[in-house]
Amino acid sequence: MAVKEGERILLVDPDGKNFLIRVEKDKEISTHRGVINLGNVVGKEYGDFALTHNERGKFYIIKPSVNDFMMKVKRKTQIIYPKDAALIVMWLGLEEGSRVIEIGSGSGSLTIALANAVGERGKIYSYERRKDFMENAIKNVENSGLIDRVEFKVREAHEGFDEKEVDAVFIDLPSPWDALDPAVKALRGGGRLGVLSPTCNQIETMAVKMEERGFIEISSFELLVRYMLPRKGMTRPFERMVGHTGYLLFGIKINPEFDL
- Within 123-162, the residues that bind a copy of itself by CB under 8 A are none
Distance CA 13, CA 42 (A): 18
> Residue 38, interface with a copy of itself (CB under 8 A)?
no
> Residue 89, interface with a copy of itself (CB under 8 A)?
yes
* CB hemisphere CA count around 3 (13 angstroms): 30
Helix/strand/coil (H, E, C) string of 40-54? HCCCCECCCEEECCC
> Residue 258, interface with a copy of itself (CB under 8 A)?
no
- Interhelix angle 109-118/82-91, rounded to 10 degrees, is 40
Which of 77/134 has CB closer to a copy of itself?
A: 77
Per CB under 8 A, the list member of 54, 131, 240, 259 interacting with a copy of itself is: 240
> Residue 116, interface with a copy of itself (CB under 8 A)?
yes
Per CB under 8 A, the list member of 20, 29, 51, 62 interacting with a copy of itself is: 62
> Residue 7, interface with a copy of itself (CB under 8 A)?
no
> Residue 225, interface with a copy of itself (CB under 8 A)?
yes
Q: How far is the CB of 129 from a copy of itself (least distance, A)?
A: 20
- Taking phi over 0 as left and psi of -120 to 50 as alpha, with beta for the rest, 136 belongs to alpha
DSSP conformation class of 2: B
Which of 6/237 has CB closer to a copy of itself?
A: 237
> Residue 204, interface with a copy of itself (CB under 8 A)?
yes
Which of 30/219 has CB closer to a copy of itself?
A: 219
CB atoms within 10 A of CB 18: 18
Q: What is the rounded end-to-end Cα distance, in angstroms, of the chain?
A: 57
Closest CA to 93 of 183, 181, 193, 162: 193
> Residue 228, interface with a copy of itself (CB under 8 A)?
yes
> Residue 47, interface with a copy of itself (CB under 8 A)?
yes
